[in-house]
Amino acid sequence: MPEKRIVLLGPPGAGKGTQAQRLCEQLQIPHLATGNLLRAAVANSTPVGLQARPFMEQGKFVPDDIVIGVLLEAIQAAKRANPGGYVLDGFPRNRFQAEALRKELQRRHEKIDKVILIDTPDGVVQERLSQRRSCPDPLCGAVYNLKTKAPRTPGACDLCGKPLVIREDDRPETIRKRLAVYHQQTEPLLKFYRNQGKLRVVAGDLEIEAQYQALLDLLKTEQLVA
């Protein structure tokens, strides 16, 4: 079966993580979420984690060289474990990262198949992230929403039982910073991928099920899902 290499773009809170996880379960390919990889590094106080910590605590994007190194290692590990492809969630965030990814994939005689923007208004992002709660265990990392995906036991992770927390980057002042950085740095990627004929768009203000169905319909049209 041909590999499927898919990038999900969109602002924080667009639903990239939720939809990527469901899509990966259906396609049986790895979900590579840059945020999860970096949070695990921070929690484990790895060299990369120590470099990334101050940026993440301030709601800033982690420098490109750190992120690219983490992501390329994860892609290589995913390829060894499952040659069917992967979904990238949270990467690339800017043109520099996109060029680095394209260069590395070209070296391996590979390419990104499709880039999907989950187009989400700022107001929707702010509302969603205000309701988000996360498991602090880096080996779990489950994410909940008090309105749309509440834990079975209030305040506790369904998977490991640990108390849920509001991540630093989900606090209101940090959300505003993250959105400002997104609009400045990430939106230029749309032109980059549109010029390559890879960019497709799904509405981000839909409910979870409707958004997932729209994503599936798109991928079926692109012949990436049977």
Can 107 be counted among the known catalytic residues? no
The residue annotated as part of the active site, out of 5, 22, 132, 133, is: 132
How does DSSP assign 153-173, residue by residue?
Answer: STTB-TTT-PBPB--GGGSHH
Q: Is 176 a catalytic residue?
A: no
DSSP-based three-state secondary structure for 139: coil
How many CA atoms lie within 13 Å of 14's alpha carbon, on the beta-carbon side?
23
Does residue 80 have an active-site annotation?
Answer: no
Q: What would the two tokens of residue 9 be? A: 């773009």
Q: Which of 16, 114, 128, 133 is catalytic?
A: 16
- E-state strands within the chain: 4-9, 31-33, 85-89, 114-119, 132-134, 143-145, 199-203
For residue 95, the 8-state DSSP code is H
Clarify whether 177 is annotated catalytic: no
CA distances from 192 to 92, 99, 182, 189 (A): 11, 9, 15, 5
Of residues 60, 102, 167, 198, which has the active-site annotation?
A: 167
Active site (annotated) includes residue 39 = no
> Which residue, among 90, 116, 72, has the nearest Cα to 33 in the 3D structure?
90
Which positions are catalytic?
16, 93, 132, 167, 178
